[in-house]
Structure 1
Amino acid sequence: MDCSTYKRYHLHDFDSRGYLDHYFSDHSDMVFAEDSLKFPIEKLTKTFTRGHINGDVLIDMSVGSLVHHLYAACEFFKHIIVLKVNDRCIMELKRWLDSRTGAFHWRHATKHHVEIEGKRHQCEDKEDKVRSAAQHVVICDVEKENMTDPIVLPPADCIISAWFLDGVSKDKDDYVKYLRKFSRMLKPGGHLILIGSLDMTYYTVGKDRLHALKYDEDFARKALVGEGFVIDDCQVHKRTAVSDLIDYKALVFIVAHKEK
């Protein structure tokens, strides 16, 4: 397939439920658990339990309608503000936040998180804490200077962005442009946590093949430093999944802070 025909996450009708089913479910044929579920949960849990990343406001700007990357963070922030690029992603996320019938089942991811914390029997408590913290779900437009216009968000103590830059950036200049916007949303000294896929060019959702920006670890590091961030941690996890749904070679997890 010609890559020029690939759909774009934020520009076309993105099947948020199909995305979750393909890459984050507990289906027996879902081969991405080690990469898309366990790796980010383990890295985020370790990062937040160190105790130096906390505050009043965390902004989440991640692809689709993900939840599992917020389990560790909900213990350390009073408010989680979730930004989404379309109503379909908001509706899917709010189904889970509001405990509605038919919501995506995240309990397998919750179990993995609480087992890491040594709190095996506290799944419901953990999910309730995420629901309590993530009270604000806001639509955004990545091309606007203020992405949430007309709403003006408070400066964030931390931003988490999982696979978002991979999907919205048409090229490396775009990636840097969006990093700059993230920086403006952060307090001086605030933290940015990025989860992304290295050397990826596409991912599949249903019958659609979607564009992904191809970049490597060196580019991500240089882009962050160029925008005034100091990298605190960078971990690369080589791909374990066998599937032609997506063509990444590794995952990257980066923690950085904005220079004061």
Structure 2
Amino acid sequence: MAEKPVLFSDDYKIAFDPETYLSTYYNDPSPNPVDGDMMTFGLTQFHEAFASGNIKGRQLLDFGTGPTIHSIISSSQHCESILLAEFSLKNRDTLKQWHNGELKHSFAKFIDCVLKLERKEDSVSNREASMREKVSGIIPCDIRNENPFAPCFIPAADIITSSLCMESVALSIPEYESYAARLASVLRPGGHLVLFGCVGGTFYTVGSSRFSSFGMTSSELQAAWTKAGLEIVTWKEGRRPNPEQKEITDIDGFFTLVAKKPKA
């Protein structure tokens, strides 16, 4: 049987199905051989980054949000306003459905997971309402462009979060470095980046479609953000469970990075 062709950035406009993506990767954050361990790692590390109390500010930018809100569950409690920036129109429509309370897919288990990590006596519905209230906009973006947010104007962000995005766009190390510098330029001096991504690999699947995931080593990834002018505060890495099962993805592992932009 011939191998499925790998799809790239512009293919997201047609081939990427948000509903299938959510049902595949965002049903339950409990560890399992396919995706749960990775998502539990991401949720835990986002929680730990913000629980430190060192990352806070007025404006948070979540870059490459996709059709999911897992990256703002923890961060929403440490900012006043959230801007969601996403390339795909279908994903932006999905985010708008969530924002309006109309999305059929539920993130309740993910929110509950974070609340348990925080040990807070809060309800899932209250946290989700708080998150929705802080979202000030859902805007298009394309990191391949010199101005990734054109025609929108966005102010410098106090915090940038991004999850499983950069490796879906870059096709080489120089490209990744260029995109990292572009994103870092939106961060105000003294601000923080909290990034969740993949180590190694070449693809991940959504339904019958196989999308590019540009794999870099840990040292290459850290070097890219250092070159972008950020100081790495923490780097956490996890290995993918059951790496021999490569039907869904062939990534080696995953990471979170917390970095700070030096003050001038």
Change (3 A) 1:138 1:30: farther
Aligned partner of 2:183 in structure 1 is 182
Q: Matched residues in 2 for 1:194 and 1:121: separation?
A: 26
In structure 1, list runs of 5 or more residues that go unmatched.
none
Aligned partners of 1:55 and 1:77 also within 8 Å: yes
Change (3 A) 1:30 1:62: farther
Q: Matched residues in 2 for 1:27 and 1:110: separation?
A: 10
The worse-fitting range, judged by mean Cα deviation, of 189-198 and 138-147 is 138-147
The alignment of Structure 1 onto Structure 2 pairs a total of residues equal to 257
Aligned partner of 2:6 in structure 1 is 6
Question: After superposition, where does 1:72-151 map in structure 2 within 5 Å?
Answer: 72-100=74-102, 102-119=103-120, 121-151=122-152
Aligned partners of 1:23 and 1:33 also within 8 Å: yes
Q: Matched residues in 1 for 2:60 and 2:200: separation?
A: 28
Report the alpha carbon displacement of residue 257 of structure 1 after superposing the two structures with TM. 0.7
Q: Which residue identity is paired with 2:254?
A: L
TM-score, structure 2 normalization: 0.91
Q: Which residue identity is paired with 1:110?
A: I
Change (3 A) 1:220 1:79: same
Change (3 A) 1:172 1:126: same
Aligned partners of 1:235 and 1:252 also within 8 Å: yes
Aligned partners of 1:10 and 1:168 also within 8 Å: no
Moved over 4 A (4+): 27-30
Q: Matched residues in 2 for 1:26 and 1:183: separation?
A: 32
Change (3 A) 1:64 1:30: farther
Aligned partner of 1:258 in structure 2 is 261
Identity %: 24
Report the alpha carbon displacement of residue 63 of structure 1 after superposing the two structures with TM. 5.0
Secondary structure (helix, strand or coil) at the match of 1:213 reads coil
Q: Matched residues in 1 for 2:85 and 2:8: separation?
A: 17
Establish whether residue 15 from structure 1 lines up as the match of residue 17 from structure 2: yes
Q: Matched residues in 2 for 1:27 and 1:70: separation?
A: 15
Q: Please provide the CA RMSD for this pair.
A: 2.0
Q: 1:69 aligns with which of 68, 71, 78?
A: 71
Report the alpha carbon displacement of residue 98 of structure 1 after superposing the two structures with TM. 0.9
Report the alpha carbon displacement of residue 2 of structure 1 after superposing the two structures with TM. 6.1
Report the alpha carbon displacement of residue 226 of structure 1 after superposing the two structures with TM. 1.4
Report the alpha carbon displacement of residue 73 of structure 1 after superposing the two structures with TM. 0.6
Report the alpha carbon displacement of residue 225 of structure 1 after superposing the two structures with TM. 1.1
Q: Matched residues in 1 for 2:44 and 2:9: separation?
A: 26
Q: Matched residues in 2 for 1:85 and 1:74: separation?
A: 21
Report the alpha carbon displacement of residue 61 of structure 1 after superposing the two structures with TM. 0.9
Aligned partners of 2:58 and 2:81 also within 8 Å: yes
Q: Which residue identity is paired with 2:247?
A: D
Q: Matched residues in 1 for 2:135 and 2:251: separation?
A: 30
Aligned partner of 2:38 in structure 1 is 35
Report the alpha carbon displacement of residue 135 of structure 1 after superposing the two structures with TM. 2.6
Q: Which residue identity is paired with 2:50?
A: F
